[in-house]
């Protein structure tokens, strides 16, 4: 993705000059390549268009939002908490989990580039290296091997030699699998409560009474007693190596 932005950096100045737009300029100097403010704004707007894809494909957001959605379904509370609350919680938790990686990207790539100490290409390469480290650490080796075979690539010499075109789908697949495994473990105790309540009501002959009317308060009570939200959020963060 960052290589694509660099390609846009290189192509836009020529197109701007051809259209008579001197504001989009690229200057070569001893300290590296300098981009005009207008060109940087164009690159920023381009980055914003792909920000949702980056959020979904290169962070912890996918795993978190799936687990929270399964938890709400297991509780049987319909649309409570609402989607906006779940998405907000997933976003804040994603920023918390990604903070060490983002801080490293800022300190080693973005800040030196903004200070003029590092050119654009080395800065992008360093940022890509850091992000790759996070992705590879949280990607199952069998998923990575599957996409490597699908791409027809030879075994990679080291983790940093894995291309993003292979790493990103492998990471997403691994995240989906992990999210559903966590969701299954969360769903299981609530399923037991539903089965017990349904069995008791059937034994009492109260077949006209919906088991959900009885099991829902019990599930909410159990969830509150065990401090379920803190436990769920803390467990999600721990799956990325935080707090350990």
Which of 34, 49, 64 is where one domain is finished? 49
Q: Which residue has the tokens 């020529």?
A: 14
Q: Which of 179, 150, 161 is nearest to 56 (CA)?
A: 179
**Distance (Å, rounded) from C-alpha 234 to C-alpha 228?**
10
Longest dimension (CA), the chain: 86
Where residue 184 falls among pLDDT bands split at 50, 70, 90?
Answer: very high
pLDDT for 96: 92
Do residues 143 and 210 both lie within one domain? yes
Region of poorest pLDDT, from 8-22, 100-114, 159-173, 221-235: 8-22
Where residue 23 falls among pLDDT bands split at 50, 70, 90?
Answer: very low
Mean pLDDT of 27-54: 64
C-beta of residue 100 within 8 angstroms of C-beta of residue 138: no
Residue 213, in any domain of the structure:
yes
84: left (phi over 0), alpha (psi -120 to 50) or beta: alpha
Mean pLDDT of 183-191: 90
Q: In this structure, is the dihedral angle defined by the CA atoms of residues 38, 106, 160 and 64, taken in order, positive or negative?
A: negative
pLDDT for 21: 42
Mean pLDDT of 112-127: 82
pLDDT for 204: 82
- Angle of CA points 164, 122, 7, to nearest 5°: 60
Instruction: Name the residue with higher pLDDT: 244 or 224.
Output: 224
Do residues 64 and 15 both lie within one domain? no
pLDDT for 33: 53
Mean pLDDT of 176-202: 89
Residue 244, in any domain of the structure:
no
Do residues 87 and 200 both lie within one domain? yes
Do residues 43 and 163 both lie within one domain? no
Q: In this structure, is the dihedral angle defined by the CA atoms of residues 221, 227, 233 and 238, taken in order, positive or negative?
A: negative
**Distance (Å, rounded) from C-alpha 65 to C-alpha 6?**
31
| H-helix or E-strand spanning residue 46 | helix 37-49
Mean pLDDT of 147-158: 84
**Distance (Å, rounded) from C-alpha 192 to C-alpha 130?**
43
Residue 93, in any domain of the structure:
yes
Do residues 54 and 42 both lie within one domain? no
Mean pLDDT of 134-155: 88
Number of domains composing the chain: 2
Q: What is the average pLDDT value for the chain, to the nearest integer?
A: 80
Statement: residue 64 has pLDDT above 90: yes
Do residues 124 and 162 both lie within one domain? yes
Q: Which residue has the tokens 């990575």?
A: 144
Statement: residue 30 has pLDDT above 80: no
Do residues 28 and 56 both lie within one domain? no
Statement: residue 65 has pLDDT above 90: yes
Q: Which residue has the tokens 């599930």?
A: 219
Question: What domain range is 234 assigned to?
Answer: 50-238
**Percent of the chain, pLDDT > 70?**
82
Residue 211, in any domain of the structure:
yes
Do residues 104 and 196 both lie within one domain? yes
Instruction: Name the residue with higher pLDDT: 79 or 92.
Output: 92
Please give the radius of gyration of the chain, using alpha carbons only, rounded to the nearest integer: 24
Do residues 45 and 60 both lie within one domain? no
C-beta of residue 60 within 8 angstroms of C-beta of residue 240: yes
pLDDT for 157: 80
């Amino acid at each position: 993705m960052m290589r694509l932005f660099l390609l846009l950096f290189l192509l836009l100045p020529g197109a701007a000059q051809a259209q008579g737009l001197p504001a989009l300029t690229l200057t070569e100097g001893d300290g590296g390549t300098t981009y005009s403010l207008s060109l940087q704004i164009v690159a920023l707007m381009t980055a914003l268009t792909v920000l949702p894809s980056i959020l979904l494909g290169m962070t912890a957001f996918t795993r978190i939002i799936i687990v929270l959605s399964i938890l709400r379904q297991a509780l049987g509370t319909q649309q409570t908490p609402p989607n906006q609350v779940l998405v907000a919680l997933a976003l804040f938790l994603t920023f918390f989990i990604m903070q060490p990686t983002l801080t490293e990207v800022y300190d080693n790539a973005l800040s030196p580039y903004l200070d003029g100490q590092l050119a654009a290409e080395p800065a992008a390469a360093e940022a890509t290296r850091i992000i790759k480290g996070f992705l590879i650490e949280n990607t199952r080796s069998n998923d990575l091997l599957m996409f490597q075979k699908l791409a027809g690539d030879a075994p990679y010499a080291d983790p940093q030699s894995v291309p993003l075109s292979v790493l990103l789908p492998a990471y997403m697949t691994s995240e989906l699998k992990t999210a559903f495994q966590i969701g299954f473990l969360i769903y299981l105790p609530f399923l037991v409560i539903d089965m017990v309540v349904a069995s008791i009501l059937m034994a009492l002959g109260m077949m006209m009474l919906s088991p959900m009317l009885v099991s829902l308060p019990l599930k909410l009570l159990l969830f509150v007693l065990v401090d379920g939200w803190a436990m769920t959020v803390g467990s999600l963060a721990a799956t990325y190596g935080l707090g350990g």
